[in-house]
Chain A
């Protein structure tokens, strides 16, 4: 009697499992087949011409109906508006935005783990260090206005291309910090006790590491040697001013993290520009002296489940409309100089953000590797 019951239970469990997998199988099967007709050509296209021009690309992308983006927070460099604008312009395509707060390494991990699945990311907005290690993951593609991107800002084959940079800046809540900081050492003062935070662990997050590099440039160090930046944060910790929590728009709005060192476009987005979810008193300062910038890169996943939509997204990103949206957030877009020349730049926006700095430092790949090595060995001790 008992043994029969066991068998029945196992049999039911097996039947359920089989029917569930059958469902899953048929679902992905149909989803895959709808887009495969145009995907063949779009998958290897290195320009819109390859698929028969912009209209054909739009048609192919519409047939796919989906676009997977990853690690694009809505308040980061105006991505909320950029995504909404794409969906408005191409209403037949739905954007699936995965893991908005993830890192560049998360993008690579998702592309590898979900390879061949319909949920894999189609496009990347990725930091240079991670990208250079994973060049086999990206497909070459050149947007229509490829010539507008300066030569140093792109791979000759079109595997990657800079999209925008911010400047490392200090955002502060003017209702808490009454006198604006004028130099980095001001942050060591008693008014900043328990108030200064950076975007995570520098041995992990590029934006946090950039805060250390900026501190180095501001305190007599250089892109070659960032030890002074680590020393600065050691002093900040010693003064009791370092707040070891990762700030977000919410912590700035609530006042939990009144001073944040991060990219200017994020500081700006969390202030007045953030509207109801921003903090109207949050003010952005870029210190005089050598500023620090760092371009992010656009790239298309070589195994993109929606190859046409991915290419259409890049065309959208480099359209003057989106480049101006980057600019409005305080991020300087890659085609800025070209847009100024052909008068496509939104002059009002450019005035309010301020002209792009003539000169700012950006760590080269070698310098970044060197800095990372130093951070690995020295950071935890300085901040512990």
Chain B
């Protein structure tokens, strides 16, 4: 998962560490354990995984695996992965932001805020087989809601016959429902601090100068929150884009890129294509790079007022 730090107002003042050169020379030592960890468990595996895409089964260097990007099935998987991630990120961000907005009206140390905070921390990490099972039990063929609808006379309802292609939850589009279950809490977690950073005095100042609530939000609130919002949005996208276990437990026929990678790695029928998984991983990295570039351009624009 890519973590995007979004400081509400970046501290432009020089950091204190610069004051004492003797101290600066050892201060990097504190970073060593984390840096070593990132290199060992993130950078090296990523390079090895992507690198494997450029070798054939015999271990010789090749560009042949890149032909996978011309395969319509692979392209379709990329399209599905991107739209499902974009949709759940957008929905998650909007719903999550509204939840944060509603929570602003509660006391910061109050019961409700505490409950929502801790529930979000748990649910944001609630993925994989547990989540898949929870939704199978709710809206699967035998799910509580599905069977209730059937009992109400809806023999073919949205859950058991979506688009006349069988049970919704076992289709790629059905992933939207379980994904939102962890996307919204993640948004609440990452966006709430920014919301809390809005000072009541700003609203009061705006009101004193004759601004309506609408102008306060469009001219003050939203511009201040925009960088944090876009940062959270991209985090949500990455979260969904890299999600594997939930989809693997629900969908048997591939359809998104992490499942396509599994297929290339473990196939018993189409053998000898394990190295193609490396170029698919490269494709995922490229998608994220494009997105991060677009994000930083957007971020520069959104935070123009801060400069």
Query: Which residue of the partner chain B has the closest CB to A13?
Result: B33
Partner of B268, one of A130, A194, A383: A130
B57 vs chain A, min Cβ distance (A):
8
Chain A residues touching B, range = 35 or more
Residues in B with CB closer than 8 Å to A208 are 252
B3 at the interface (CB under 8 A from A): no
B230 at the interface (CB under 8 A from A): no
B210 at the interface (CB under 8 A from A): no
| A6 to B274 alpha-carbon distance, docked (Å) | 44
Residues in A with CB closer than 8 Å to B262 are 204
Residues in B with CB closer than 8 Å to A225 are none
| B 66-103 contacts with A by CB, 8 A | 72-73, 76
From B8-16, B24-32, B236-244, the one touching the partner chain is B24-32
Are A244 and B270 in contact, with the CB atoms below 8 A? Answer: no
- Given A130-B271, A204-B267, A380 contacting B166 (CB threshold 8 A): no
Are B252 and A245 in contact, with the CB atoms below 8 A? Answer: yes
B250 at the interface (CB under 8 A from A): yes
Residues in A with CB closer than 8 Å to B32 are 10
Partner of B266, one of A105, A246, A371, A383: A105
A198 vs chain B, min Cβ distance (A):
8
Residues in B with CB closer than 8 Å to A256 are 136, 140-142
Are B26 and A204 in contact, with the CB atoms below 8 A? Answer: no
Partner of B270, one of A109, A200, A375: A375
| A368 to B274 alpha-carbon distance, docked (Å) | 18
Partner of A129, one of B27, B33, B269: B269
| A335 to B105 alpha-carbon distance, docked (Å) | 76
A74 at the interface (CB under 8 A from B): no
Query: Which residue of the partner chain B has the closest CB to A106?
Result: B266
| A138 to B235 alpha-carbon distance, docked (Å) | 46
Query: Which residue of the partner chain A has the closest CB to B156?
Result: A193
B207 vs chain A, min Cβ distance (A):
46
From B42-50, B157-165, B193-201, the one touching the partner chain is B157-165
Are A245 and B268 in contact, with the CB atoms below 8 A? Answer: no
| A280 to B101 alpha-carbon distance, docked (Å) | 53
| A202 to B252 alpha-carbon distance, docked (Å) | 10
Partner of A3, one of B26, B171, B250, B254: B26
Residues in B with CB closer than 8 Å to A375 are 269-270
B161 vs chain A, min Cβ distance (A):
6
Are B269 and A6 in contact, with the CB atoms below 8 A? Answer: no
- Given A203-B269, A244-B251, A194 contacting B160 (CB threshold 8 A): yes
Most buried by A among B76, B160, B271: B271
Are B269 and A206 in contact, with the CB atoms below 8 A? Answer: yes
- Given A105-B267, A243-B166, A201 contacting B161 (CB threshold 8 A): no
Query: Which residue of the partner chain B has the closest CB to A243?
Result: B166
| A244 to B26 alpha-carbon distance, docked (Å) | 57
Over the window 186-219 of chain A, the binary record of Cβ atoms lying under 8 Å from chain B Cβ atoms (1 yes, 0 no) is 0000000110011011111110110000000000
List the count of A-B residue pairs having beta carbons below 8 Å apart: 130
Are A104 and B268 in contact, with the CB atoms below 8 A? Answer: yes
Residues in A with CB closer than 8 Å to B167 are 194, 243-245
Residues in B with CB closer than 8 Å to A104 are 268
A109 vs chain B, min Cβ distance (A):
7
| A373 to B71 alpha-carbon distance, docked (Å) | 13
| A368 to B170 alpha-carbon distance, docked (Å) | 28
B151 at the interface (CB under 8 A from A): no
Most buried by A among B23, B251, B269: B269
B255 at the interface (CB under 8 A from A): yes
Over the window 240-267 of chain A, the binary record of Cβ atoms lying under 8 Å from chain B Cβ atoms (1 yes, 0 no) is 1111111000000011110000000000
A384 at the interface (CB under 8 A from B): yes
Over the window 291-303 of chain B, the binary record of Cβ atoms lying under 8 Å from chain A Cβ atoms (1 yes, 0 no) is 0000000000000
A127 at the interface (CB under 8 A from B): yes
Are A197 and B165 in contact, with the CB atoms below 8 A? Answer: no
Are B29 and A7 in contact, with the CB atoms below 8 A? Answer: yes
Query: Which residue of the partner chain B has the closest CB to A383?
Result: B253
B265 at the interface (CB under 8 A from A): yes
Known pairs A255-B142, A376-B73; list 14 more (Cβ under 8 Å): A105-B271, A109-B266, A130-B268, A194-B161, A205-B269, A209-B268, A240-B161, A244-B171, A245-B170, A254-B142, A371-B269, A372-B271, A375-B270, A381-B72
Identify the A interface with B (CB < 8 A): 2-3, 6-7, 9-10, 13, 102-106, 109, 127, 129-130, 133, 193-194, 197-198, 200-206, 208-209, 237, 240-246, 254-257, 368, 371-373, 375-377, 380-381, 383-384
User: Can you list 16 A-B contacts with CB-CB less than 8 angstroms, sorted by A residue number?
Assistant: A6-B27, A129-B268, A129-B269, A194-B167, A200-B252, A201-B252, A201-B263, A204-B267, A208-B252, A241-B166, A245-B170, A246-B252, A368-B269, A372-B269, A377-B73, A384-B76
